[in-house]
Amino acid sequence: MSITMEELRKQFHEQLQQANAADAFEELRVRYLGKKGEVTGLLKQMGAIAPEMRKDYGAKVNALKEEVESSIKKRIEEAHAKELEMKIAATERYDLSLPSTLSEGSYHPITLVQREVEQIFASMGFTIEDYDEIVDDYHCFEALNIPKHHPARDMQDTYYLSNGQLLKTHTSAAQNAIMKKYGAPLRAIFPGRCFRNESTDACHENTFFQMEGIMIDENISISNLIYFMKTMLSEVFQRDVKVRLRPGFFPFVEPGFELDISCAICGGKGCPSCKNSGWLELCPCGMIHPNVLKAGGIDTDKYTGFAFGLGLTRLAMMKYGIKDIRDLNSGNLKSLDQFVK
Ligand code: FA5
């Protein structure tokens, strides 16, 4: 019997040597290990073996079975590795000297407009500050004269973490920390990403950028505020843009204004980008409320200041004629590619 087994082993290895494709390996597996396979057949003969030889016989057949299994597995792995090697060598070699078929990378329109506004304010003596995206309730609301349960919070629902912190709803959340850091006099802008629980449409996103600006000094008045807003807009657009200033309520400024821009998409006629009003709310602003200055450690007998919250994402829409704000977060390279610089 052991000779038969030896012959079978030899025959198997010869056939395995000749096999070189997946179906040939499978065929061999079935021929030797399948239900009616040669090795399976040897196992089935166990009953016919004399009891005193059964243990030895069984061990040999099982060893042969394992040998067949592992030999086929090894050959399959070798064949895969060889195939891969050939593929890399023949067809998938990279030629780094070939010209690229991909377009050049580009800055995102929001980055472009942010850098532009930063330059404008830097040239007027403002420092550029960075601030956290995850903030606490005090900085986002309380320090801004928005106590708990104040109705102004309804318009700025956001995403809360289990530790009570939240994703900042506006860049105003940095005002208190920056006032405490530098004191007065102070000129600073701080761009940042904001998050709100919003129903999105052509001019509302749940994740968007703002740029806050504050100026605190002696004798700062609404005239200073209007001057800086006008300068910023005329520099960004390099042409006259129609804007309007109207009263607006924000608990952290008094008086407060809404600064709207005539919709650049429809020329003020009304379209989905401006909710058919012809105007887009762009940059609310106002004189900083004394409570906010006090919370920031500023002497309100000596200093006054203005603040604004520029909607950077909307500014990018208006500057580049992007009809739907959602395109800006979409990662759609086809539309974003136009801004290659
Ligand atoms: C604020 O966030 C105030 N913190 C702004 C401010 C700062 C007022 C300093 C006074 C003084 P508001 O929620 O209106 O205000 O947002 C300001 C601007 O951000 C809007 O005019 C708009 O341009 C932009 N904005 C607000 N919500 C969204 C949104 N969901 N999607 C895109 N842009 C938005």
Q: Break the chain into its structural domains and give their ranges.
A: 2-90, 109-336
Residue 39: CA count within 13 A, CB half-sphere: 24
Q: Answer whether 175 contacts ligand 1 (Cβ < 6 A).
A: no
Give nearest CA residue, ligand 1 atom 3: 309
| H or E, element range at 256 | strand 253-262
Secondary structure class of 98 (helix, strand, coil): coil
Q: What is the radius of gyration, based on Cα positions, of the chain?
A: 37
Q: What angle do CA 218, 214, 274 make, to 5 degrees?
A: 135
Choose the residue to mutate in 139, 156, 170, 220 for probing ligand 1, maximizing ligand atoms within 8 Å of C-beta. 170
Q: Answer whether 8 contacts ligand 1 (Cβ < 6 A).
A: no
Give pLDDT, residue 262: 93
Give pLDDT, residue 224: 96
pLDDT tens over the chain, length 341 residues: 555 788 999 999 999 999 988 889 999 999 999 999 999 988 888 888 899 999 999 999 999 999 999 999 999 999 888 888 887 777 656 666 777 666 677 789 999 999 999 999 999 999 999 999 999 999 999 999 999 999 999 999 999 999 999 999 999 999 999 999 999 999 999 999 999 999 999 999 999 999 999 999 999 999 999 999 989 999 999 888 899 999 999 999 999 999 999 999 999 999 999 999 999 999 999 999 999 999 999 999 999 999 999 999 999 999 999 999 999 998 777 777 776 55
Give pLDDT, residue 101: 64
Q: Answer whether 251 contacts ligand 1 (Cβ < 6 A).
A: no
Q: What is the distance between the alpha carbons of residues 200 and 84, in angstroms, rounded to a whole number?
A: 48
Burial 138-171 (b: 16+ CB within 10 A, else e): ebbbebbbbeeeeeebeebebeeeeeebbbbbbb
Phi, psi (5° rounding) for residue 290?
-55, -35
The minimum-distance atom of ligand 1 relative to the CA of 310 is: 18
**CATH number, domain 109-336:** 3.30.930.10
Give pLDDT, residue 129: 97
Give residue 59 CA to ligand 1 midpoint distance, Å. Answer: 80
Give nearest CA residue, ligand 1 atom 24: 311
DSSP state of 325: G
Give pLDDT, residue 148: 93
Give residue 105 CA to ligand 1 midpoint distance, Å. Answer: 30
Give nearest CA residue, ligand 1 atom 32: 204
The minimum-distance atom of ligand 1 relative to the CA of 156 is: 13
Bond prior to 255 in cis (omega within 30° of 0): yes
Contact present, 263 and 246 (Cβ < 8 Å):
no
Q: Which two tokens stand for residue 138?
A: 């005090």
Give pLDDT, residue 333: 74
Give pLDDT, residue 21: 86
